[in-house]
Chain A
Amino acid sequence: MSQVIARANADALPDITTERGERAVFCGLTSIIWLHRRIQDAFFLVVGSRTCAHLLQSAAGVMIFAEPRFATAILGERDLAGMADCHEELDRVVSELLARRPDIRRLFLVGSCPSEVIKLDLANAAARLQGVHENRLRISAFSGSGIETTFTQGEDQCLASMVPDLPVLSEGSQRLMVVGTLADIVEEQFRRHFAQLGITEVDFFPAARADDLPPVGPGTRVLLAQPYLSDTVTALTKRGAKLVSAPYPLGIEGTLGWFEAAASEWGHHAEAVQEALAIPVARAQKSLARVRESLEGRSVHFLPDSQLEIPLARFLRDECGMSLTEIATPYLDQTLMADELRRLGSGVSLVEGSDLDSALARVREHRPDLTVCGMGIANPLEAEGFRTKWSIELIFTPIQGFDQVADLAGLFARPLVRERQLEVGSWS
């Protein structure tokens, strides 16, 4: 096992402070909302409480028109009091579910706060249920509980739970594994770019079909499309894969750096990558220039939410000309963020963790032009006279890659453009 870790120069790192207190973040169950759109034949069964069901419904905004491919098995008093055998109950619920949805090829049992606290062993349950439904579908378990995961970490746990199922990569071959949920359109663009670089041995994980599992082995080079996949990377490196240290494919520089890092594993120089991708880069520059006008010289403040804060801040500063008042992130994985931290450099205030009231006090003190925050906080900040961008949209919108650069900048520009346009009196 080997791992490339690009350690940043300690002098050039941002100033990192850690904060503990009230956290205003979603739990990992929220990841199900984009995972079930991505893996189109998977079903996510949360074993939890009415709160879990209500969270999924509220975060999804009850926007999903069709019957969703997720549900909650709500624990009742009988389950907790031991009057009903939780495992028998779960078997019953799973059979009910599979009878309804014969199209499902993969079932995830998703742990929640209540199931973790009562120590309901879902991995064990998954193994048992696998035996019952052996030839029908694959069943595994992961935790999306709030006591263990925040927001995007649910995807990390989900992918990590699939790693043992990945087939073995034949010896002597080298393949690239792009890890992290991407929109189909972005995956297609990236495949074309890799082909332009002469890299065709590319897998995307997770894929649109649950049975499409990429092989893994010492020849695997892991390139992260999302920055919140710590446990998945650990599981993959345990199977011999090597992590390619790279920035995240957000913005032109991030995307170019991302392709360069991958290409260097195939022996291509950065110049060759720049030449091969010159056309999409030029197109991205042209489209970004228009949006940049609205952002240049403005300040932005990140409250902790999705783990995308660091690469987004880097993009807004380096490519859109914004200044950073503070970047806060729920937790900091220095390995996965090594390249990004180096690009961010010193003189940036980076906060790990959260204490909501003091974080809001700093927003009021700095008075940034734009605050990136969770959905629950956005309107109250607007009412106080702050422009905000609610961050869940950054997770649901295709924002990675060259052709999405202007869209990404546009998400931040829109609140500022709107502020200039409206003539309806004060905000609050």
Chain B
Amino acid sequence: MELTLWTYEGPPHVGAIRIAASMRDVHLVLHAPQGDTYADLLFTMIEREGRRPPVTWTTFQARDLGGSTAEMVIQTLQGACERYQPQVLLVAESCTGELIQDQPGALAKGAGLSAPVIPIEMAAYTRKENWGASETFYQLVRGLLAARAPKPGEERSARPADQPASVNLIGPTKLGFRCRDDVTEIRRLLESMGVRVNVVAPLDATPHDLLRIPDADANVNLAPEVGDLTCDWLKRQFKQPIISTVPLGWGATRDFIAEVIETLALDIDPETVGESRLPWYSRSVDSTYLTGKRVFIFADGTHALAAARMARDEMGFEVVGLGTYSRERARDVRALATEYGLEALITDDYLAVERAVTELQPELVLGTQMERHIAKRLGLPCAVISTPAHVQDYPARYSPQMGFEGSNVIFDTWVHPLIMGLEEHLLTMFRDDFEFNDGAVPSHLGGEGGGAQQPDNVTPMIPAEPGAVAWAVSAEKELRKIPFFVRGKARRNTEHFALEQGLSVIDVETLYEAKAHYSR
């Protein structure tokens, strides 16, 4: 039993719904009690989908539990087949369905349905949403393609010389982070290299499209949380190589281009492919104020890894915290954290993340919807970089994260919550001016709440430790002269310093001693 306030991932059957909702001509029957249908609103409200997810629910109630639930399953399956006439019918259970052991997959196989059936085991009490999506997609692809796999020893026929190289984009889904625009961006990038995109799946694919997956020369594993399992299977069965660099960030996009060229044996100079404004924006003088900004990163594995690299190498930030809720990616995130001299935070406990942010007092938080809440509560600037995300993170505008345009978008997104360089400079110069008082927020944010508006009024979640040091009035006054956006850090550092030195009262001297100590 595990105490949970907020969850980063839904249950695995929500992952199954994401696959069905991403595709065309697939229908999912879920054996689940009344109430589990709430999942529809994730798609129709958060992602503003104009159609209901293609899911029919048995919605059983207590009065049905006497023994007629199996009958309900069969009726629901038949009704769904008749009404929606899917090319493939997926069958699964939610957590409660799993407990009553009606075996809907077996029932479906024996129900003489007009559509081919693929049952999915959800393991609701051990697994989560991304696993459910990955498993569903894998079972679907395997179910459709297993019989077509070449026999052992059989060679893949070479692509005819007059045909362009082609790849599949594997993994993008509904309710993924900016998947719609990432697919467009990566398709453009590949086409500019003369590479044809054969199938994109699951997003907007039909089961018939999945049958064409083996025609491509390689699979681009665009969303590893969903695509890993399937890409591995396709590699084993169809000898399709995997292009595994996720093109998130300027450097990663260049690596991706290089991997595509190498994998497909293309005759292209990688330097001629695409262009990005990020390098110049990052090198221009206004960006010097970004140097060493302390950032905290928490996201799904893919976005956390990519953000860490971007933050350090492309923005010039200092990564002070790195973590993920994707246990499947824990090893990679741990390894990268070690490289950055950090200990990775691998958890799905929102409170543990909140404690870490409170402790570290970063100047920018890059996270999910949850970290947005944590940051708002602590008065810290924040940008959302990963799911779970809310309605405002499914924007109307074209806003990819991947490829060169994606790195432009990310540059803007991360800089936006901060005070711009020139403005930061002026605030320091004129800090005694009445307009540049504690309440001043970045001028472009107005009352929007993105900036550190009331850093001194934030009640920390962790109460001050007993034996905390006191501030002399003079030191407190001096502290107020320090620009408010670094004041929290200064206060914290000074208190740490005073404790270390065994001081009980902080005076002006202590403040500057501490400043000297930490600026080494």
Residue of B nearest to A97 (CB): B3
Given the known inter-chain contacts A57-B7, A58-B38, A80-B125, please indicate yes or no for A380 contacting B376, CB distance below 8 A: no
- Interface contact B59-A71, CB-CB below 8 Å: no
Given the complex, which residues of B lie within 8 Å of A96, measured CB to CB? Answer: 3
The B33-65 residues at the A interface (CB cut-off 8 A) are 33-42, 44-45, 48-52, 56-62, 65
Given the complex, which residues of B lie within 8 Å of A416, measured CB to CB? Answer: none
Interface flags, A1-37, vs B, CB<8A=1, else 0: 0000000000000000000001111111110000000
Instruction: Please pick, from A71, A84, A89, A374, the residue contacting B4 in the complex, using a CB distance under 8 A.
Output: A71
Q: In the complex, what distance in Å separates the CA atom of A376 from the CA atom of B42?
A: 8
- Interface contact A146-B33, CB-CB below 8 Å: yes
Instruction: Please pick, from A50, A68, A150, the residue contacting B34 in the complex, using a CB distance under 8 A.
Output: A150
Q: In the complex, what distance in Å separates the CA atom of A55 from the CA atom of B35?
A: 9
Binds A, one of B92-100, B224-232, B245-253, B437-445: B92-100
- Interface contact A27-B96, CB-CB below 8 Å: no
- Interface contact B62-A147, CB-CB below 8 Å: yes
Residue B5 interfacial (CB < 8 Å): yes
- Interface contact A73-B50, CB-CB below 8 Å: no
Binds B, one of A112-120, A247-255, A321-329: A112-120
Given the complex, which residues of B lie within 8 Å of A379, measured CB to CB? Answer: 44-45, 48-50
Residue B196 interfacial (CB < 8 Å): no
Residue B323 interfacial (CB < 8 Å): no
Q: How many residues of A contact B (CB 8 A)?
A: 63
Q: In the complex, what distance in Å separates the CA atom of A89 from the CA atom of B49?
A: 40
Q: In the complex, what distance in Å separates the CA atom of A382 from the CA atom of B49?
A: 10
Residue A282 interfacial (CB < 8 Å): no
Q: How far is the CB of A387 from chain B (nearest CB, A)?
A: 14
Interface flags, B7-39, vs A, CB<8A=1, else 0: 101110110000000000000000001111111
Residue B6 interfacial (CB < 8 Å): yes
The A57-97 residues at the B interface (CB cut-off 8 A) are 57-59, 61-62, 65-68, 71-77, 79-80, 84, 86, 89-90, 92-93, 96-97
- Interface contact B44-A378, CB-CB below 8 Å: yes
Q: In the complex, what distance in Å separates the CA atom of A67 from the CA atom of B355?
A: 13
Residue of B nearest to A25 (CB): B34
Q: In the complex, what distance in Å separates the CA atom of A182 from the CA atom of B407?
A: 49
Q: In the complex, what distance in Å separates the CA atom of A118 from the CA atom of B98?
A: 11
Interface flags, A348-360, vs B, CB<8A=1, else 0: 0000000001000
Q: How far is the CB of A423 from chain B (nearest CB, A)?
A: 17
Instruction: Please pick, from B36, B49, B370, B388, the residue contacting A146 in the complex, using a CB distance under 8 A.
Output: B36
- Interface contact B5-A113, CB-CB below 8 Å: no
- Interface contact A383-B2, CB-CB below 8 Å: no
Residue A168 interfacial (CB < 8 Å): no
Residue of A nearest to B57 (CB): A22
Instruction: Please pick, from A22, A51, A68, A89, the residue contacting B56 in the complex, using a CB distance under 8 A.
Output: A22
Q: In the complex, what distance in Å separates the CA atom of A53 from the CA atom of B369?
A: 16
Given the complex, which residues of B lie within 8 Å of A68, measured CB to CB? Answer: 5
- Interface contact A65-B377, CB-CB below 8 Å: yes
Given the known inter-chain contacts A49-B96, A382-B50, please indicate yes or no for A84 contacting B1, CB distance below 8 A: yes
Scoring B76, B95, B373 by chain A CB atoms within 10 A of each residue's CB, the highest score goes to: B95
Given the complex, which residues of B lie within 8 Å of A383, measured CB to CB? Answer: 50-51
Given the complex, which residues of A lie within 8 Å of B145, measured CB to CB? Answer: none
- Interface contact B35-A29, CB-CB below 8 Å: yes
- Interface contact A74-B14, CB-CB below 8 Å: no
Q: How far is the CB of B10 from chain A (nearest CB, A)?
A: 4
Residue B390 interfacial (CB < 8 Å): yes
Q: In the complex, what distance in Å separates the CA atom of A300 from the CA atom of B417?
A: 44
Given the complex, which residues of A lie within 8 Å of B370, measured CB to CB? Answer: 62
Given the complex, which residues of B lie within 8 Å of A375, measured CB to CB? Answer: 41, 44-45
Residues on B lying within 8 angstroms of A by beta carbon are 1-7, 9-11, 13-14, 33-42, 44-45, 48-52, 56-62, 65, 76, 79, 83, 94-96, 99-100, 124-126, 128, 369-370, 373, 376-377, 388, 390
In the A-B complex, the 10 residue pairs with the closest CB atoms: A27-B35, A146-B35, A376-B40, A383-B50, A89-B1, A113-B96, A49-B95, A54-B10, A376-B41, A146-B33
Of the A-B pairs whose beta carbons lie under 8 Å apart in the complex, a sample of 13, sorted by A's number, is A24-B37, A51-B13, A51-B124, A55-B35, A62-B388, A73-B3, A76-B2, A77-B125, A89-B1, A113-B96, A116-B62, A118-B99, A377-B44
Give me 12 other A-B pairs in contact (C-beta within 8 A), A55-B35, A72-B4 excluded.
A22-B76, A26-B38, A50-B95, A53-B7, A54-B7, A62-B370, A75-B125, A113-B96, A114-B96, A376-B41, A379-B45, A380-B49
